[in-house]
Amino acid sequence: MMKRYKLTISYDGTGFAGYQIQPAGRTVQGEIERCLSVMHKGGTVPVSASGRTDAGVHARGQVLHFDSSLAIEPKRWIKALNALLPADIRVLMAEEAESGFHSRFSAEGKEYVYKVNTSLQGDVFQRNYTCHFPYVINADLVQDAIPHFLGTHDFTSFCSARSEVEDKIRTITSLDLDIDGDDWTFTIRGNGFLYNMVRIIIGTLLEVGQGKIAPADIPVLLKAKDRTKTGKTAPAHGLYLNRVFYGQIEDKYS
Amino acid sequence: MMKRYKLTISYDGTGFAGYQIQPAGRTVQGEIERCLSVMHKGGTVPVSASGRTDAGVHARGQVLHFDSSLAIEPKRWIKALNALLPADIRVLMAEEAESGFHSRFSAEGKEYVYKVNTSLQGDVFQRNYTCHFPYVINADLVQDAIPHFLGTHDFTSFCSARSEVEDKIRTITSLDLDIDGDDWTFTIRGNGFLYNMVRIIIGTLLEVGQGKIAPADIPVLLKAKDRTKTGKTAPAHGLYLNRVFYGQIEDKYS
């Protein structure tokens, strides 16, 4: 009997051409489907994710689903897949899901983390995991700009011009900045994110911190619906898909 | 006029065949000397380190010295070298040193850190930077064993049998264990360390934690002067050369 399984996975995006299978280059989806195929004696097992991540972007809690007729307990899936997967992808959780569960369409929100290191020389151990930004940034200016992003807005100015999505209205429920010495960590939650949206918001906040954009200009930039007026897209390797939220609103942001 | 410079460097050991130049493989010393040679218009500039580190071992505070007739201010050395060095080596500090300063012979002590992750699945982001040890470890047993290492002992049982050093007496001044969830961090300081000494001490402490070796056996193992009785050598990629101490005793462990 076919059952639907939900997987929560973590990956180091450094060695991948992105999440989604493509003609050339190593992908997370490609590795997962290869391992599932081994477990299914060569059969094809398509996997769906909560969303794609770009080359270099990391995940601490990407969610996938797939269907299988193998009679394997959820916990055994973790062990079996991790034994086959390369070291830069780990399955953290496996659960049996309802047949109507869909990793993408059932998702009600996501949390991303973006890491920045402001030290002069950078940290060799963080070079693939944190955006090195060795410039003077004014934290007060950044904190003043943050509330302007909260709530429901048309984020046309904050998504890639290549985005083909028609509806660019999204809701950001929280955006927090934690500063620990030279390490800045942004945590952003919302009901959905457009292509490059987190990276453009962060890139813009960094320019706010440098004094290039005023905090009070954020509402103006949102209204302009013009990608050319906002900040640079922050590099992929500082970004982490941290969590995907499913289920009731009240649980969602626990 | 020739001046002596002291460099403090950090490197990610993952991509190196070790610190020291060797016939084949990428080395930290090789990269540094290559960059110094570029700065000296092809001239050879030999570099001395406080000690070698093995393949995979990291450094947050390795110390080197070299002599140069280039009239460059210490701070400019940092910028110039970092512009030439690969991203997995960073110069953190450059200072003019007295002519009698020697990175190895002037060193009065060193601090190493060893990181262990005890979670079942491990952390993809730490796979090259932390020893993954997904076993039950009793922290109380490890804490009971630690004091037996402190002070002055013959560490023959805790150094590689391949070591060619005659005098195996060393003094460990501190050995601390910090536990934060699944992350265990050992910090060890001493006046000097034999080949693989930190990794064998850690490997033995992990076996103590698993109940394979009793804490009270540590003095017996020290007295035995027999490498075959102690624990496995813990993997290289959990080890960091953190600091090298020079100067007065009172400053040394500040």
Q: What is the CATH number of domain B3-97?
A: 3.30.70.580
Q: Does A254 have pLDDT greater than 70?
A: no
pLDDT of residue A233: 97
Strand spans (E) along A69-137: 89-97, 109-117, 131-132
End-to-end CA distance of chain B: 34
pLDDT tens digits for range B155-203:
999 999 888 888 999 999 999 999 999 999 999 999 999 999 999 999 9
Percentage of chain B lying above the pLDDT 90 cut: 93
Note the pLDDT of residue B248. Answer: 53
- Asked if A12 and B129 come within 8 Å (Cβ–Cβ), the reply is no
Of residues A91, A104, A135, A92, the one with CA closest to residue A117? A135
Q: What is the rounded distance in angstroms from the CA atom of residue A249 to the CA atom of residue B62?
A: 51
Q: Please name the residues in contact with A180: beta carbons below 8 A apart, sequence gap of 6 or more.
A: none
Separation of alpha carbons A242 and A92, rounded Å: 12
Residue A204 pLDDT exceeds 50: yes
Check: CB of residue B170 under 8 Å from CB of residue B194. Answer: yes
For residue B74, give the H/E element and its range: helix B74-84
Does the complex come out with an ipTM higher than 0.90? no
Note whether B92 contacts A121, CB cutoff 8 Å. Answer: yes
Q: What is the pLDDT of residues B25-49, one digit of tens each?
A: 999 999 999 999 999 999 999 999 9
Domain parsing of chain A, residue ranges: 3-97, 109-247
Cβ pair B125:A12 closer than 8 A: yes
What is the per-residue pLDDT for A242?
98
Which H helix or E strand runs over A202?
helix A197-209
Question: Taking CA A168 as the corner, what is the angle to CA A163 and CA A169, rounded to the nearest 5 degrees?
Answer: 160
- A10 interaction partners in chain B (CB closer than 8 Å): 123-125
Pairing of strands A109-117, B58-68: unpaired
Q: Can you tell me which residue has the tokens 């689903």? A: A65
Q: Is residue B252 scored above 60 in pLDDT?
A: no
Taking only the tens place, the pLDDT of each residue in A102-143 is: 999 999 999 999 999 999 989 999 999 999 999 999 999 999
- Establish if A83 touches chain B: CB-CB under 8 angstroms: no
Q: Are strands A131-132 and A48-49 parallel, antiparallel or unpaired?
A: unpaired
CB distance from B127 to chain A under 8 Å?
Answer: yes
Say which residues have a Cβ less than 8 Å from residue B37's Cβ, sequence separation at least 6. B43, B44, B45
Question: pLDDT: is B121 or B197 the higher one?
Answer: B197
Please enumerate in sequence order all residues whose Cβ is within 8 A of that of A54, keeping only pairs 6 or more positions apart, or say none.
A13, A18, A19, A196, A236
Apex B199 CA angle, B197 and B202, nearest 5: 110
Tell if the CB–CB gap between B88 and A127 is shorter than 8 Å.
yes
Contact present, A17 and A25 (Cβ < 8 Å): yes
Tokens describing residue B97? 């040193």
Q: Do domains B3-97 and B109-247 have the same CATH topology?
A: yes
Q: What is the CATH number of domain A109-247?
A: 3.30.70.660
- Give the H/E segment covering residue B122: none
Q: Dihedral, CA atoms, A27, B236, B221, B205, nearest 10 degrees?
A: -50
State the pLDDT at residue B254: 40
Closest CA to B118 of B204, B177, B212, B183: B183
**Do the annotations mark residue B112 as ligand-binding?**
yes
Q: Which residue of A has its CA nearest to B88?
A: A124
Distance CA A52, CA A20 (A): 6
User: B127 and A88: CB-CB below 8 Å?
Assistant: yes
With beta carbons under 8 A apart, name residues in chain B contacting A122: 90
Catalytic residues of B: 54
pLDDT at A163: 86
Nearest Cα residue in chain B from A132? B87
Q: Both tokens of residue A110?
A: 């996501």
The C-alpha of A87 sits at a distance from chain B's nearest C-alpha, in angstroms, of: 7
**Is A11 in CB contact (< 8 Å) with chain B?**
yes
| Torsion, Cα of A59, A116, B87, A160 (10° steps) | 60
